[in-house]
Amino acid sequence: MSIEVVTLGEAMVALVASDTGPLAEATTFRRFVAGAEANVAVGLARLGHGAAFIGRVGPDGFGTAIVRRLRGEGVDVAGVAVDPEARTGIFVRERRLFGAAELVYHRSGSAGSRLDPDDVAAAADRFSAGRWLHVTGITPALSASCRAAVDAAIDRAREAGMTISFDVNLRRKLWSEDEARPVLRAIAARSDVVFAGLDEAGVLLEASPGSANDAARALLDIGPSLAILKLGEAGALARQRDHPGAAHEGFAVPLVVDPVGAGDAFVAGFIAARLEGHDLATALAWGNAAGASVAATIGDMTGLPTRVELEGILASGPDTIR
């Protein structure tokens, strides 16, 4: 499969509580492969699009599991290096059917956090082959070298004439809002497409975001030509400068068992639709369908839909998964 989308970041192992309830009571965990950008790459591959992932893993079984999973999904892993000096990052989380789930990172000093611009340079041919670069606000939070790697990737994508998308993905466990804001704004300013939740938009704008529509318009003032507000079960909204926007109300999931990863699935569905020349409303629908599918399954990648599954959700009606 030829490479259309390039992404970079930290792929990790997720240990997810088998039963719902507080982490303090969880005794059995299932191991999944996760990491926002890796989730997007797998989401695209399942929909039939060539995706390349750039990152580092440790010389341990978890690193091997990550590479096997990504390769097995059809993601190009030529840009994934094994760093002999560091371990693969891990995060552990509980599951709750109500309220926010507790998540604990074990990723400080991890192999993924040692990504640097040389890793991007080593994958230069991926950029010349690709059409789209996707980055998130998680990677620059990990280390100075990761931040520089994201900048280097954006430079290369610009040179190669790729579309650049940026998912704000604010992780308050990794940095404070004040630390994050200037870095995330600078990346948004260099991107064509920005994805944000309403709360994340408020942090970037350093103001109450108001309505989703107002927030999207204000994000456009930072620099991107397209701003997408991800509103969870309420769907999503797109605004672009000097052109009509679009909205899609979303699909009601009968039981949300694990919403983590749904935002990445949204991004994968959205990008896939745009690569295929679909309009904004269709891209939002694909994104919402993919997001709903992930929220209904345990694990960040498990529910990423194949094309047949996506079509099934889209055909099931505007507001439900049957």
Catalytically active residues are 264
Residues 134-163 that bind ligand KDG (CB under 6 A): 138
The C-alpha atoms of residue 19 and residue 6 are separated, in whole angstroms, by: 35
The C-alpha atoms of residue 86 and residue 82 are separated, in whole angstroms, by: 9
**Parallel, antiparallel, or unpaired: how do β-strands 80-82 and 90-95 relate?**
unpaired
Out of 253, 285, 300, 310, the only residue in the binding site for ligand KDG (CB under 6 A) is 300
**Phi then psi dihedrals of residue 22, to 5 deg:** -65, 145
Q: How far is CA 182 from the centre of its chain?
A: 20
**Phi then psi dihedrals of residue 21, to 5 deg:** 135, 180
> Under the criterion CB under 6 A, does residue 263 sit at the interface with ligand KDG?
yes
> Under the criterion CB under 6 A, does residue 41 sit at the interface with ligand KDG?
no
Q: Which is nearer to ligand KDG, 138 or 283 (CB)?
A: 138
Which CA distances in Å does 85 have to 54, 56, 121, 149, 290?
A: 18, 11, 20, 19, 36
> Under the criterion CB under 6 A, does residue 261 sit at the interface with ligand KDG?
yes
Shortest separation between residue 297's beta carbon and ligand KDG, angstroms: 13
> Under the criterion CB under 6 A, does residue 256 sit at the interface with ligand KDG?
no
Q: Going residue by residue from 180 to 199, which x/- string records binding to ligand KDG, judged by CB under 6 A?
A: --------------------
Q: Going residue by residue from 109 to 138, which x/- string records binding to ligand KDG, judged by CB under 6 A?
A: -----------------------------x
> Under the criterion CB under 6 A, does residue 94 sit at the interface with ligand KDG?
no
Helical ranges in the chain per DSSP H: 36-46, 61-72, 117-122, 124-129, 139-142, 144-159, 177-189, 198-205, 212-222, 262-275, 280-295, 307-315
**Phi then psi dihedrals of residue 240, to 5 deg:** -135, 155
Shortest separation between residue 169's beta carbon and ligand KDG, angstroms: 6
Nearest residue to ligand KDG, using CB? 34
Shortest separation between residue 7's beta carbon and ligand KDG, angstroms: 12
> Under the criterion CB under 6 A, does residue 35 sit at the interface with ligand KDG?
yes
Q: Which is nearer to ligand KDG, 76 or 300 (CB)?
A: 300
Residue 11: name the closest of 120, 128, 138, 117 by CA. 138
> Under the criterion CB under 6 A, does residue 39 sit at the interface with ligand KDG?
yes
Shortest separation between residue 36's beta carbon and ligand KDG, angstroms: 4
Say if CB 153 and CB 55 are below 8 A apart: no
- The two structure tokens encoding residue 80: 């994934």
Kindly determine how many residues on this chain lie close enough to bind ligand KDG according to the rule CB under 6 A.
11
> Under the criterion CB under 6 A, does residue 264 sit at the interface with ligand KDG?
yes
The C-alpha atoms of residue 191 and residue 219 are separated, in whole angstroms, by: 11
The C-alpha atoms of residue 183 and residue 177 are separated, in whole angstroms, by: 10
Q: Name the one range near ligand KDG by CB under 6 A: 23-31, 221-229, 261-269, 302-310.
A: 261-269
> Under the criterion CB under 6 A, does residue 171 sit at the interface with ligand KDG?
yes
Residues that bind ligand KDG in the complex, under the rule CB under 6 A: 34-36, 39, 138, 171, 260-261, 263-264, 300
